[in-house]
Amino acid sequence: MTHDEPAGILADPGAILRAAGDALTKLDPRRMIRSPVMFTIEVGAALITGLAMARLAGQPGAEHPAFIAAVAVGLWATVLFANFAEAMAEGRGRAQADALRKTRSDTLAKRLTAPRREAATEAVSSTQLRAGDHVLIEAGDIVPGDGEVIDGVASVDESAITGESAPVIRESGGDRNTVTGGTRMLSDWLVIRITANPGESFLDRMISMVEGAKRQKTPNEIALDILLAGLTLVFLVVTATLLPFSMHAVASAGRGEPLGLAVLAALFVCLAPTTIGGLLPAIGIAGIDRMVRANVLATSGRAVEAAGDVDVLLLDKTGTITLGNRQAASFLPATGVTERELAEAAQLSSLADETPEGRSIVILAKERHGLRGRDVEALGATFIPFTAQTRTSGVDLDGRQIRKGARDTIQKAVVAAGGTMPAEVNRICDDVAKAGATPLVVIDGTRVLGVIELKDVVKGGIAERFKELRAMGIRTVMITGDNPLTAAAIAAEAGVDDFLAEATPEAKLAMIRRYQQEGHLVAMTGDGTNDAPALAQADVAVAMNSGTQAAKEAGNMVDLDSNPTKLLEIVAVGKQLLMTRGSLTTFSLANDVSKYFAIVPAAFGGIYPQLGALDIMRLHSPTTAVLAAVAFNALVIVGLVPMALKGVRYRPLPAAVLLRQNLLVWGLGGLLLPFPCIKLLDLLLAACGVP
Amino acid sequence: MMTGAWIEVAAILVATALAAIVIAPWLAAVFPMDDAPSGRPDGNRRLDRWLDAISGPVLRAAGVRRAEEMTAAEYGAAILLFHAAGFVFLLVLLRSQAVLPWNPDGLPAVPWLIAINTAASFVTNTNWQSYAGETTLSPWSQALGLTVQNFVSAASGLCVLAVLVRGLVRRDSPTVGSFWRDLARATLGFLLPLAILLGLLLASQGVVQSFATAIDVPLVDGDGVPAGEKATRRIVTGPVASQVAIKQLGTNGGGYFNANGAHPFENPTPLSNLLEIVAMLAIPVAGCLAFGRWVGDRRQGRALLAAMAVLFLPFLALIVHFETSPNPALPREVDQSASVDHEGGPLEGKEVRFGPAASALFAISTTATSCGAVNALHDSFSPLGGLVAMWMMQLGEVVFGGVGTGLAGLIAYTLVAVFVAGLMVGRSPEYLGKKIEAREMKMGMIVLLVPPIATLLGTASACVLPAEAAAAPNPGPHGFSELLYAFSSAGNNNGSAFGGLSATSPFWTLALAAAMLVSRLLTMLPLVAIGGSLAAKRTVAESPGTLPTHTPLFVLLVAGAVILVGALSFVPALALGPIAEALQPRPIAEGPS
């Protein structure tokens, strides 16, 4: 995950200059009409500019030409600042795309000159591999790309992707013949044929999307646009009807002047929801951009929004809830064997075992019994590594043949060698399995020493995270291939709300449908081809980039890090996007109150001087009052650009608390903030000698 | 005694609350929410059978199938058709009054303009009256034309509410109920029994209910009659109590007499005054409580009622305060305080049998609900008192509002508030489990914006026509208030008159008729459309991440949305009217109007 904010961009003069240039080209009315609010302001700006020019050319009129020109400048500034905000957001997306190009994963692959193990190899970057290339992968290697197994049998650790903690066997032929890029070989070797070209990857597609800037409005944006357009319309009527109203008032009061067009335009731009109208596109672009920064490619802005709505998360056990691999938790000796004796044998058998499980056994032996690691070579021992054929591993030392492995494999080996499996060891194995762990039996020749308990280790802090999610109203469901006993034990430890054990693709799909039937929105991650139906059904479906093509096509997001925990972040980004929109809308609307207090007394003071009582800010003059309100209205857009790009602060809290806090900050803040600001701008204008 | 005034106000409010609590379960039973009537949970099954029995014969005669269900489009078309038919029927009736029976005074046909205005007014539940009832309409026209429309226009308002609530309650449903069935049940099973009860109570107080013609009575002091004038006065009677009962209950407001609720035959005693205020408020309040029953969460209904109360009570306190305070236009030496023979406060334009406090309460009740009946001259209220009355209408008639339509309008405001608030908590917005999307937003905004736009454009058109603006006789800001009030009343389907305005010219009759029709139909039809689109949606499950819509904070938010759209749109206009008048250093002379 790369979260390093390109912090420089807001302070980067180059980016600001480019955005300023873009802001000008965006004045094209054909582009402006996409935002009804800003389009009407642009029309108003053009109108008032025309009026100012006519007045300067000598046309008669009541308003001072300089005042009209100043209002025109204010209107243009409002439009330009809004365009600038959008351009800044787009610029940030472009910068992100450039950065992504550099971070395309790059591992070294052994390309074969012919599809045989014995053929000569050359070391090439994985990015140079083409579909059809043949590659040799050996124990310890990272699989350089998606491919099909041509030759060999090997165990592969796919836990980071598949959610299965046990190593899987991959072999040529049959339905276990695909390997996924990013997985790790544990034993043996494979020859694979690469199936995807570079350039067809999701990373490439994402880069083109971020740069394309061809953005469709999301449903929520459309609904908000309708709200803003409606408000714009009513405020247009409010200001337009003030002309006849003021004419009537002048006629009956016998003094003053009907309102001029410049004052009406100024009132309109102040009342129309320009703050949110101007920042809306920037907020949307920035939301997608934040997803990209979390290394998630969303196929649409709609998917990002839906992420904020999700209230059921289907989480794969392995990698999300538990660490990727099981770890040794205890030594359970058979009768007549001390725990230390068992630990010693287990340690010996694992000294040269590079699997995560093997290493965890050595660590446990050291922690529990102070057994130090020894050099297998120096002991003169022969290490028997785990292979797919024997399914056991161990060590031959001083005539001893220590082996460890799954119960059934070991039992066969013991019986074959003329021994028996003690009933007591079988009982221990059953107990371990019931507690949700995996038993590993250790033998020395035919003597059964005891059992190593391998446990899934729940990630630190994950239970707290689920608690937060619960407070936000999001249910967590653990998906695992484990048996129900194991699943229940881990589910209880992790504190998820529900679990699905022995999960099959069909069971997953049925579960998603059931939740949706109850009115929930479901998010899940998946990678395998058999996940595709469930991914297609889920409301937010995050496919791992290392997953199969079918999975990626069925999902509406792809996580480039292939990190199942990412789902939690995706939800946060979605919520933050919506919250930013809502908060700035509230702020924008609450702003209107103060502007009435600035403009109404200024506009009508000539007709009814007693309305000066409404001028609670005690502004310098009607001219400065109107200009200060217009200036505030334009400047507040610029002031909120960082907020639109960064998003409002997001915390996982219940809706009632979030509403209270945001309403306090953006509602009450929006109501009060303009008063001192307009007063300040008024003082500034007066100090500059504006009459 | 000012304390006495407050006690009176409090007593009426308590009586309203009690009445609403009694009516609410009944109203809830009138409109079943499910599409399968038999599958309804217990509780009101007996009431339901009774409602079916009372409305069944009419529906069978009209050929409506028992289980008939309509889509929103069909329901909307039925409403439109029903309004059109009502308009034509009323127009024909008024135009042919001269040849129709029960016209004891031999009144001629109602002039075209007045007839159009009146037909539009009564069909739309506005009941703006550009005529004087006793000298223009025969008892036949009043009873068969106006009183019938009083019932059915109120009932169709309730139908719109029912559709909207069905949208919230039903899931994945293509239909929203049957207009004909809803209309029959609401009229015959709900409004009619209530009106009969209220009519009897009012008659007990002396409200006239008579088939007799006008009576000529000799003057008590015949000697004082100037030469050339008759020594008798004609006193018009008629079926008054029956019309007054439904005009109050159905938030119609069209009085039998020109003086409306100030006429002693329409509103003779303080008790009748209390009954009439309670009758205006009871059904809209009961609607909120019924809403809670319909959606299966009483808190939701109470929250909407609280939002209305938050907007109503402070302004009730203000208008009572303004109207019981001394008139600042009078010299300081004039004693305006309450005493044995004076109620205290300005009494010009008010009935002494009610006094300033009850007049102020009546005024805010009639404008907050879309009733429009009056028992005092709003024109004579203090500038800020008049502002409160005007503003209650300008809020879009959603603070209580018309029966059915008021709550439906407030729900439209709630949808907009939910939309913004929902975003603020990071969820795409939903109300009672229904997602609020572009279509709801579009229709909701039409509901919210049509009344203020109709009001402002109407007033502006009067302002640019000096001859028409002159219909308001008062100079200065007060004259503007008269223009603004008229269009606020018509553009929000209230129907109350400020007074003073002579609105019988072609411009005024037609412009107000247009405002009434546009406002009524362009709020009702989008509300039905919202009901239809919500009904078709699935219901999203509730969780702690769901925005709670029953909390005090949410109540304030809804009230804030109403103020933002309803009130802020009118701030500049109000500044030129009542606010400029109130802030006037030397008040202009009180217009005699």
**pLDDT tens for each residue of B63-117:** 888 778 999 999 999 999 999 999 999 999 999 999 999 888 889 999 999 999 9
- Residue A445 confidence (pLDDT): 84
3-state secondary structure of B487: helix
CB contact under 8 A, B437 and A223: yes
Q: Which residues contact A110 (CB under 8 A, 6 or more apart)?
A: A121, A122, A123, A135, A136, A137, A138, A141
Residue with tokens 């989480």: A315
Question: 3-state class of A494 per DSSP?
Answer: helix
Burial A491-509 (b: 16+ CB within 10 A, else e): bebbbbeebbbebebeebb
Region B30-49: what's the mean pLDDT? 69
Q: Is B461 on the interface with A (CB under 8 A)?
A: yes
Q: How far apart are CA A232 and CA A268, in angstroms?
A: 8
- Residues within 8 A of A (CB atoms), B 11-40 only: none
Classified as helix, coil or strand, A297 is strand
Q: Quick count: other Cβ atoms within 10 Å of Cβ A55?
A: 20
Nearest CA to A249 out of B457, B384, B461, B477 is that of B477
Per DSSP, B188 falls in state: I
Determine the residue among B414, B418, B423 to mutate to test chain A binding: the one whose Cβ has the most chain A Cβ atoms within 10 Å.
B423
CB pairs under 8 A between A and B: 217
Cβ neighbours, 10 Å, residue B232: 13
Strand, helix or coil at A241?
helix
Pairwise pLDDT comparison (A576 vs B339), residue with the higher score: A576
CB A407 within 8 A of CB A307: no
Mutate to test the interface with A, among B168, B413, B415, B427 (most CBs of A within 10 A): B427
Q: Which of A610, A643, A665 to mutate to test the interface with B (most CBs of B within 10 A)?
A: A610
Chain A contact present for B151, CB below 8 A: no
CA distance B436 to chain A (A): 8
ipTM comes to 0.92
Interchain contact, A579 vs B476, CB within 8 Å: no
Confidence of residue B39 (pLDDT cuts 50, 70, 90): very low
Residue B486 has pLDDT above 80, yes or no: yes
Residue B588: predicted pLDDT: 46
Please tell me the predicted confidence (pLDDT) of residue B510. 96
Counting Cβ atoms within 10 Å, is residue B427 exposed (0-12), middle (13-18) or buried (19+)?
A: buried
Residue B592 has pLDDT above 70, yes or no: no
Q: Is the pLDDT of residue B203 over 90?
A: yes
Nearest CA in chain A to B566: A234
Interface test with A, best of B299, B424, B484, B583 (most A CBs within 10 A): B424
CA of A608 vs chain B CAs: smallest distance (Å): 7
What residues form DSSP beta bridges with A382? Answer: A396
Percent of residues, chain B, with pLDDT higher than 70 = 95
What pLDDT score does B591 carry? 42
Where does B329-388 show beta strands of DSSP type E? none
Return the axis-axis angle of helices B405-424 and B298-324, rounded to nearest 10°: 110
Q: Which residue in chain A has the smallest CA separation from B434?
A: A519
Write down how long chain A is: 691
Residues A532, A534: Cα–Cα separation, whole Å: 5
User: For position A7, what pLDDT does the model report?
Assistant: 43
**Eight-class DSSP state of A9:** G
Q: Please answer yes or no on whether B576 and A246 come within 8 Å at the CB atom.
A: yes
Calpha distance A428→A550 (Å, rounded)? 42
Per residue in B412-427, pLDDT (tens digit) is 999 999 999 989 988 8
Residue of chain A with shortest Cα separation from B444: A227
> Which string of DSSP letters, residue by residue, matches B239-307?
BHHHHHHHHHHTT----SSTTGGGSTTTS-SHHHHHHHHHHHHHHHHHHHHHHHHHTT-HHHHHHHHHH
Under 8 Å between Cβ of A149 and A117: no
Which residues of A are known catalytic residues? Answer: 316
* pLDDT for A103: 46
Crossing angle of helices B179-186/B2-30, nearest 10°? Answer: 140
Within 543-572 of B, beta carbons closer than 8 Å to A belong to: 543-548, 551, 553-554, 557, 560, 564-565, 568-569, 571-572
Strand ranges for A2-138 from DSSP E: 108-112, 121-125, 134-138
Q: How far apart are CA A396 and CA B550, in angstroms?
A: 73
| Ranges under pLDDT 70 in chain A | 1-11, 96, 99-106, 158-166, 173-178, 180-182, 196, 198-216, 324, 375-377, 388, 545-549, 562
Q: Is B26 helix (H, G, I), strand (E, B) or coil?
A: helix
Distance CA B72, CA B537 (A): 13
Specify the residue for token string 């008054």. B240
Per-window interface: B 260-289 vs A, CB < 8 A:
none
Work out the number of other CB atoms within 10 angstroms of the CB of residue B22.
Answer: 11
Closest CA of chain B from A300, distance in Å: 16
Contact residues, chain B, for A224 at CB < 8 Å: 419, 423, 441
Closest Cα in chain B, distance from residue A474 (Å):
7
Are the C-beta atoms of residues B250 and B149 closer than 8 Å to each other? no
Q: Which of A422, A445, A450, A453 is nearest to A337 (CA)?
A: A450
Chain B residue nearest residue A591, CA to CA: B564
The CA dihedral of A523, A527, A529, A530, to the nearest 10 degrees, is: -60
Rounded CA gap, B579 and B390, in Å? 12
| CB-CB under 8 Å, B460 with A238 | no
CA distance B476 to chain A (A): 5
Segments in A155-300 forming alpha helices (H): 159-162, 202-212, 219-253, 261-271, 274-293
Q: Is the pLDDT at B573 greater than 80, yes or no? A: yes
Name chain B contacts of A583, Cβ cutoff 8 Å. Answer: 423-424
Indicate the residue of B420, B459, B560 with minimum beta-carbon distance to A241: B459
More confident residue, A491 or B231: A491
Distances (CA, A) of A627 to A74, B308, B472: 8, 37, 36
CB of B522 within 8 Å of a chain A CB? The answer is no
For B126, B403, B490, the CA distances from B522, given in Å and listed in that order, are 14, 17, 14
Mean pLDDT across B251-263: 91
Q: How far apart are CA A266 and CA A63, in angstroms?
A: 13
Residue A135 in tokens: 């590659």
User: In this complex, which of B441, B547, B573 lies closest to A227 when CB atoms are compared?
Assistant: B441
Phi and psi torsions of A85, nearest 5°: -60, -45
Q: Tell me, what's the pLDDT at A386?
A: 77
DSSP string covering A427-439: HHHHHHHHTT-EE
Backbone angles phi, psi at A254, to 5 degrees: 75, 20
The answer to whether A565 touches A319, Cβ cutoff 8 Å, is: yes
Residue-level pLDDT at A544: 76
Alpha helices (H) along A538-621: 549-554, 566-590, 592-604
Q: Does B479 touch chain A (CB under 8 A)?
A: yes
Q: How far, in Å, CA of B83 to CA of B73, rounded?
A: 15
Task: Please judge whether B540 and A596 are an interchain contact, meaning their C-beta atoms are less than 8 angstroms apart.
Answer: no
H or E stretch covering B418? helix B405-424
- Mode of pairing for the β-strands spanning A312-316 and A475-479: parallel
